[in-house]
Amino acid sequence: MEKGTYALIIALKRETTITVGKLGRRGGENEIAFPAGYYIYVGSARGGLYPRVSRHLREGKRLRWHIDYLLEHAKVAEVWWTEDSQECLWACAAKGMPHARILVPGFGSSDCRCPAHLIYFPSLPSFELFQKALGEKGAQLKRTNPGEFLNP
């Protein structure tokens, strides 16, 4: 599988305060409170979907991206993906879904103008609503469990 866009559907069981690299430094503080619930993290994989997503799923990795810090405390429940590059479109679609909130401005979006690529939901976000929010691009969306990226 070559390049593409992916969304990690992440479950966080309890509120957790996390230091996310340099993100969130205000007045010397760099800890961010993440409430329990679900998160959609949108990313792109220019070097291959399987290597990128499987890296996110591995434990004990070097913390490189914002999402790595959150994944130290949370579990990926599903992976939504396509072989098209449309990361910012996906972030915008997720942000427009019912009950969606951006809790950490700039999370995952340091290389674009999006407000964030991590969107919070108090309950499991709907794959079907996300597909619908993507319009005609939603027809290409695939859904799988994380294990399929660990064992391609």
Distance between CA atoms of residues 90 and 6, nearest Å? 9
* Contact criterion met (CB below 8 Å) for 11 and 75: yes
* Predicted pLDDT of residue 80: 96
Give a yes or no: residue 151 inside a domain: no
Beta pairing partners, 18 = 32
Pairwise pLDDT comparison (98 vs 23), residue with the higher score: 98
Q: Given a cut of 90, is residue 61 above it in pLDDT? A: no
Residue 146 forms part of a structural domain: no
At residue 76, the pLDDT reads 96
Looking at residue 28, its pLDDT comes to: 46
Domain of residue 76, residue span: 4-140
- The pLDDT of 109-135, averaged and rounded, is 92
Question: What single letter denotes the amino acid at residue 139?
Answer: A
pTM of the model: 0.91
Residue 50 counted as domain residue: yes
Question: Domains in the chain: how many in total?
Answer: 1
132 in the Ramachandran plot: left (φ > 0), alpha (ψ -120 to 50) or beta? alpha
In a domain, 147, yes or no: no
Over residues 35-60, mean pLDDT: 91
For the chain, give the mean pLDDT: 88
Residue 45 lies in a domain: yes
Look at strands 4-12 and 37-45 and give their pairing. antiparallel
Per-residue confidence (pLDDT) for residue 26, from 0 to 100? 53
Residue 133 lies in a domain: yes
Region 21-44 average pLDDT: 79
Query: Is the pLDDT assigned to residue 37 strictly greater than 90?
Result: yes
**pLDDT tens across 81-107, in order?**
998 888 999 999 999 999 999 998 888
Average pLDDT on 26-44 reads: 84
pLDDT at 125 over 70: yes
